[in-house]
Chains A and B, each alone.
Chain A
Amino acid sequence: MSEMRRVTAIRNGTVIDHIPSGNAMQVIRILRINTDRATPVSLVMNVPSDKLGRKDVLKIEDRELDQEDLDRLALISPAASIAIIRNHAVAEKMNVELADDLLNIAKCSFSNCITKNHREPLPQRMKVVSREPLEIRCYYCGRGQEINELIENII
Chain B
Amino acid sequence: MAKVMGLTGNEAVAYAVKQCNVDVVAAYPITPQTIMVEVISQYIYDGEMDAEFICVESEHSAMSACIGASLAGARVFTGTASQGLALMHEMLYIASGLRCPIVMGVANRALSAPLNIHGDHSDMMGSRDCGWIQIYSENSQEAYDWTIQAFKIAEDPRVLLPVSVNIDGFILSHCVENVVVLEDEDVARFLPPRKPLITIDPTKPITVGAICLPDYYFEVKFQQVQALKEAYNVIREVNREYEKLSGRRYDFVEAYAMDDAEAAVLCLGSTAGTAKVVARELRKEGKKVGVVKPWVYRPFPEESIIKALGDVKAVAVLDRACSFGAPFHALCSDIIATLYRHGKDIKVFNCVYGLGGRDITPMEIRSIFEETLETARSGRVREYIKFIGVRE
A associates with B:
no
Interface residues of B (CB under 8 A from A): none
Interface residues of A (CB under 8 A from B): none
